[in-house]
Chains A and B, each alone.
Chain A
Amino acid sequence: MFAKLLKYEWRSTKGFAWLMFLISLSAAVVGGLTTQYLFRISQSQDQQPVLTVLVLLMFMAAMVALLICAAATLYFTFWRFYRSRFTQEGYLTFTLPVTSHQILLSSIVNCLLGALCALGTLLVSYLLMGLITLSAMPGFFAARWEIWKLFSRAPAGFSPGRTLPCSGRCCLSCSSALYLKFPSLCWPSPWGPCWQKSTKPFWA
């Protein structure tokens, strides 16, 4: 019966959860493409300030959309908890042939799963955004074999003694490739690393 309760709760929330997931992925793709553009424009001599500002606004909108999706998923999970217990739907919930403990536990599990989904979606979105951004950097292609070797080796013979040196070597190769090619990324700047190449911001 507990599994059926969880199934019932999932059936009630899956539509909204999938919608938020798709919106998050879309925002991640937009975010990745905008950072990719910003990175390329920072390397280019042809500065297009108006277009750059528009792209920057799109990037900010994508970030806000990601956070709103995560918050909305969490809010919807708790709203479903309220609706299935304290509104007319509660008549169905509390007349089901299950104990009150099972009802409460299923709600708690559903809320936790909702929170994990929100967090997972956020992480996947940021990862996707990062991959899209990194794909514009030449150093990424040099490091991708190291990354692939790390992940393909890890499941077969995972152990801290073997994985840490591999991951450390991967990080070193990635960062060294990026540092040698793009020193501006690694130097702190009041305008952020992307603006290091240009002598001053466009509005000055």
Chain B
Amino acid sequence: MEEYVLNAQGLSMRYHRTLALDNLNLTLTPGKIVGLLGPNGSGKTTLIKLTAGLLTPTSGEIQVCGQPISPATKALVSYLPDKTYFSAKQKIRELLDTFQDFYADFDRERAENMLGALGISLEARLGSLSKGNQEKVQLVVVMSRRARLYLLDEPIGGVDPAARDYILNTIITNYDPTATVLISTHLIEDVERVLDEFIFLNQGKIVRQGTADQVREETGKSLDELFREVFKCLPNC
């Protein structure tokens, strides 16, 4: 249905003997920031890669804005992987040129302004920047697109707390209000304040789903506390 930004039905993904996603049913509506939360190996990155068109599901179907995964949906989706996917030898200007060439919704002026505010020269090579700055550059480029669905895989992993705050503020202030942002992370305490909805994923299945406000009203707990309770390690872990 076109009203859903993301619609996954009976979605399963198997890597040889490992079942990463198990008959998953998920729908996302426009205009929300959704946290895809779960422990390591729960299937978060697999779901994101399936939506981005990097993987083909073993069974089931997945649609973005009512269309099956294709170049047309890739033009609607802005994907940020957990590691940088640009060449370290490229200049920042060349990255912007690449995005401007391939994506009609790329706002170059915004990207240049944000990079200027960070003090990053367009003539600098990506490899000459610190890890935190590389993450910021990649985030700026991805969030400068006017996409319908943003897929952010571990955007705040491996950076200092100040950089995390910057990244989260960038996400909130720069995404289109009619678009949906799906953030995959296990640093829930940091990301909780920006989330509208959450999905708890474990062993390829949705364990719990809802709004962050609902959790606080019903249980009086934060998402981080609820996560620790739901995914508490058993003694034999």
Contact = CB atoms under 8 A, between A and B. Distances in A.
Interface of A: 1, 4, 7-8, 11-12, 88-92, 94-99
A96 B94 CA distance: 16
A66 B7 CA distance: 57
B86 to A, nearest CB: 7
A91 B71 contact: no
B130 to A, nearest CB: 18
Contacts of A94: 53-54
A49 to B, nearest CB: 47
Contacts of A99: 71
A11 B99 CA distance: 13
23 contacts: A4-B101, A7-B101, A8-B102, A11-B94, A11-B97, A11-B98, A12-B87, A88-B85, A89-B85, A89-B87, A90-B85, A91-B85, A92-B86, A92-B98, A95-B52, A95-B74, A95-B77, A95-B79, A96-B102, A97-B72, A97-B74, A97-B102, A99-B71
B44 to A, nearest CB: 16
Interface residues of B, number: 21
B216 interface: no
Interface in B33-79: 52-54, 71-72, 74-75, 77, 79
Contact of A4 (B53, B79, B87, B102): B102
B81 A91 contact: yes
A130 B146 CA distance: 57
B193 interface: no
Given A97-B102, A98-B71, A88 B54 contact: no
Contacts of A96: 74, 102
Contacts of A12: 87
B197 to A, nearest CB: 24
Interface of B: 52-54, 71-72, 74-75, 77, 79, 81, 83-87, 94, 97-98, 101-103
A7 B100 CA distance: 13
A96 B106 CA distance: 13
B74 to A, nearest CB: 4
A11 B90 CA distance: 10
Contact of A8 (B54, B84, B85, B98): B98
B84 to A, nearest CB: 7
A1 B75 CA distance: 12
A97 B75 contact: yes
Nearest to B71: A97
A183 B185 CA distance: 81
B101 A92 contact: no
Contact of B86 (A11, A89, A97): A89
A97 B87 contact: no
Given A7-B101, A8-B101, A95 B94 contact: no
Nearest to A80: B87
B71 A88 contact: no
Contacts of A95: 52-54, 74, 77, 79
Contacts of B87: 12, 89
Contacts of B86: 89, 92
Nearest to A94: B54
A8 B101 CA distance: 9
Contacts of B103: 97
A91 B151 CA distance: 13
A7 B103 CA distance: 15
Nearest to B72: A97
Contacts of B71: 1, 97-99
A88 B81 contact: yes
Nearest to B98: A8
Contacts of B54: 91, 94-95
A88 B94 contact: no
Nearest to A91: B85
A8 B94 CA distance: 10
A88 B101 contact: no
Contacts of B84: 88
Task: Give me the 6 closest cross-chain CB pairs, A-B, nearest first.
Answer: A97-B75, A91-B85, A97-B74, A92-B85, A97-B71, A91-B81
